[in-house]
Structure 1
Amino acid sequence: MKKKLVVLTGAGISAESGIKTFRDSDGLWEGHDVMEVASPEGWLKNPELVLDFYNQRRRQLKEVKPNIGHKELAQLQIHYDVHIITQNVDDLHERAGSKKVLHLHGELRKVRSTKNPNYILEWEGDLNLGNVDSFNHQLRPHIVWFGESVPLFDEALDITETADYFAVIGTSLQVYPAAGLLAFVPPATPVFYIDPNPISIPDLRNPLETFPMLATEGIPLLKNRLLAEFQ
């Protein structure tokens, strides 16, 4: 049976493919205050702005490609049961070939009903006012906005609690509840941390190996480190 490698990824790995993040510019995301485009209040105040913002993000997604970091993680599936828990809303992990990807914060290429959170559709083009579900309720981006619950967090917990190896890649560990997953890694499970500006992790019970570098630099090293287990 393959050992289980659980990987928590954040904006850092996608940034290397050209996807901008709001943390790059003091709370602005592509020139917008994040609360205008990533909160229920912003949606109620100006749904046209929110829809346009995510339409632009969806178009941008078609112009970017998975980088070596995404691809190397996918290649680890040959030897490991790889589960990726990502805070990213892009599909670069899937396009690189990863099969088990859990999107904590939603997905750009999906939309959902404003009334029924379980009414979720694949969506490739623009989403506009007037696009409705089968009960005539407006559709919205399938994104977990600030102030909303994270419906897949319990599933992420279950995955984390059975990890043989756990990696943290390209995340500031400042966004909760995602950052809290580290507290549920089994105590004997090695943790690998890849980030150009790693922070100290208080109360971590696990053996820790830090790679203070970009995701595209650190993931190949991590891959070699893990593949050495088979030599």
Structure 2
Amino acid sequence: MHGGAGVSRRGTATAALAMALLALAASGEVLSADAIYRWIDRNGRVNYGNTPPSDAKAERIDGGSLMVVPAPPARPAEPSDTTRRVERLEAELEQEKRLRREAEERADEQRASEEASRRAREKARADCEDRFREPCDEEGRPIGPRYIVVPSRPWPPPRPPRDGHPPRPDGDRHDPRPLHRGVPAPDGMPKPVLPINPERAFQAPRPTERRLPSRHADD
């Protein structure tokens, strides 16, 4: 009986020792998993991690001295050909819209100007027809038959006053008697008409005498 009990105690101790060894091995794996390594890859870049490659020369780093440095901001991606094409199409579309809008505005202004001109012509024609009582054109001018009225002239026509003589009450009318014409000369030129009395033809007119009443007559 005692021999069997000793064997049983030795088996139990062996099992406990095996369990302790397994626990130590597990704790070692956990510790090794928490370690941080640094290595350089084939492209020359520095890498950090807990599982370095087998062919890389890794250097273990103490966790307490590890400093985390933020990565530099990523550079904005350059626009691709598709992006530039989309931007160009959008710019062309905006320009086309602007040109169409300007054309519509010019067309509206032209229509408004034509409408104002048409109303002005209609008003001018209506005013002309109301004034002259006959058809008129769009410029406000009568288009019916036109008559030219010539004012009558007095006969004989009046003459301006002669030098030194005041105008007569009858208007110093022209002498209706025909003029005396000379007989044509042999060379075809008419002869000059001589006055009846050549001596008085070039005399200056005498001033008109005005007599005042005598004072003796009043006395």
Give me the TM-score of the superposition, normalised by structure 1. 0.13
Higher relative contact order (CA 8 A, sep 6+): 1
Higher-helix-fraction structure: 2
Larger radius of gyration: 2
Give me the TM-score of the superposition, normalised by structure 2. 0.14
Higher-strand-fraction structure: 1
